[in-house]
């Protein structure tokens, strides 16, 4: 045994220091697939319980397969206390809250993600503190060790970005370009100048106020460009797409 699970990986410290950290989305409920992606060398994994079908037990299995080596952030389906606490309790290195458009929503997420005095996260015996064996250490370190990510992925959130960025306890403003484009009435057109302008505005505010700027993309050249712009917590691709793209390429190669 070597200390509580999430307090030893230095992930939040590295993210806050501005290190570029590259992750990928885990949407398949397969610990083996998650393990393969962890072994590939990603800096972090983005377990998607918003669009993926994962229930809490599935998330725990995914983290068990990978989390001791690769920090896992879990995207919760709703901003509710039970989901936030449970995901941190099973050993997530932080949570990603989708569609945060108001200060009240951001404050609620922080509130359930932090133990007192910063918040009201409930206390229970769970995997994160090695089922109680590292209980006190975990409680002492969790608030400073876990990453709190809110997604800016609606035009209302972009309008409100200065206020969202001012919320204490929020570490990362993570742009969801696809939902953002949808909120602008141009679903999927993530390279449309209006979407790119909104992305640049969020980045500028993050850099001004010292929040970590994050973003997701599918193509490596697009994500590289985001890194060149200044984004540091980046997601590239989705497990399902990696599988289908590689399989299609192999099949085309054999049939051609």
Report the alpha-carbon distance of residue 203 to residue 212 in Å, rounded. 9
The C-alpha atoms of residue 207 and residue 213 are separated, in whole angstroms, by 8
Q: Locate tokens 């989708």: which residue?
A: 98
Of 128 and 212, which has the nearer Cβ to ligand 3PY? 212
Q: How far is the CB of 151 from ligand 3PY (least distance, A)?
A: 6
Token look-up 């229930």 returns 55
Could you tell me the smallest distance in angstroms from the CB atom of residue 153 to Mg ion?
5
Q: Residue with the closest Cβ to Mg ion?
A: 176
Residue 177 interacts with which of Mg ion, ligand 3PY, none, CB < 5 to 8 Å by class: ligand 3PY
Tell whether residue 44 is a contact of ligand 3PY (CB under 6 A): no
Q: Would residue 54 show up in a list of annotated catalytic residues for this protein? A: no
Distance CA 67, CA 181 (A): 32
C-beta closer to Mg ion: residue 60 or 153: 153
Q: List, in sequence order, every beta strand (DSSP E) within 70-136.
A: 72-75, 94-97
* Residue 119 CA, distance from chain mean position: 20
Q: In the complex with ligand 3PY, which residue's Cβ is closer, 134 or 179?
A: 179
85 binds, among ligand 3PY, Mg ion, none (CB under 5 to 8 A by kind): none
Show the DSSP H helices in 11-152 as ranges: 11-16, 31-40, 56-66, 81-89, 103-113, 135-145
Q: Which of residues 138-157 bind Mg ion (CB under 5 A)?
A: 153
Among the listed residues 114, 103, 177, 109, the one whose alpha carbon sits nearest the alpha carbon of residue 142: 114
Q: Select from ligand 3PY, Mg ion, none the partner in contact with residue 52, using the beta carbon and a kind-dependent cut-off of 5 to 8 Å.
A: none
Assess 216 for contact with ligand 3PY (CB under 6 A).
Answer: yes
Which listed residue (85, 134, 171, 179) binds Mg ion by CB under 5 A? 179
Q: Which residues pair with 24 in a beta bridge?
A: 45
Strands 44-48, 72-75: pairing is parallel
**Tokens for 157?**
């959130």
Interface contacts to ligand 3PY, rule CB under 6 A: 151, 153, 176-179, 216, 235
Which residues form the catalytic set?
Answer: 51
Interface contacts to Mg ion, rule CB under 5 A: 153, 176, 179
């Amino acid at each position: 045994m070597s200390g509580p699970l999430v307090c030893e990986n230095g992930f939040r410290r590295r993210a806050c220091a501005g290190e570029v950290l590259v992750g990928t989305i885990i949407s398949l409920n397969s610990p083996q697939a998650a393990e393969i992606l962890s072994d590939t060398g990603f800096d972090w994994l983005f377990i998607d319980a918003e669009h993926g079908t994962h229930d809490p037990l599935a998330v725990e299995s995914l983290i068990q397969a990978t989390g001791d080596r690769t920090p896992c952030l879990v995207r919760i389906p709703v901003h509710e206390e039970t989901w936030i606490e449970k995901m941190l309790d099973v050993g997530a290195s932080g949570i990603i809250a989708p569609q945060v458009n108001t200060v009240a929503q951001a404050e609620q997420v922080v509130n359930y993600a932090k133990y007192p005095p910063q918040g009201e996260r409930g206390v229970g015996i769970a995997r994160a503190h090695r089922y109680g064996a590292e209980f006190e250490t975990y409680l002492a370190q969790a608030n400073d060790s876990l990453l709190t990510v809110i997604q800016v992925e609606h035009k209302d959130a972009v309008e409100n970005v200065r206020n969202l960025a001012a919320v204490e306890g929020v570490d990362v403003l993570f742009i969801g370009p696809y939902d953002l484009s949808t909120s602008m009435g141009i679903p999927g057109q993530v390279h449309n100048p209006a979407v790119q302008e909104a992305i640049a505005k969020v980045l500028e505010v993050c850099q001004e106020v010292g929040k970590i700027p994050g973003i997701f993309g599918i193509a490596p050249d697009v994500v590289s460009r985001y890194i060149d712009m200044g984004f540091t917590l980046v997601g590239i691709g989705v497990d399902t797409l990696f599988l289908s793209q590689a399989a299609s390429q192999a099949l085309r190669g054999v049939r051609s």
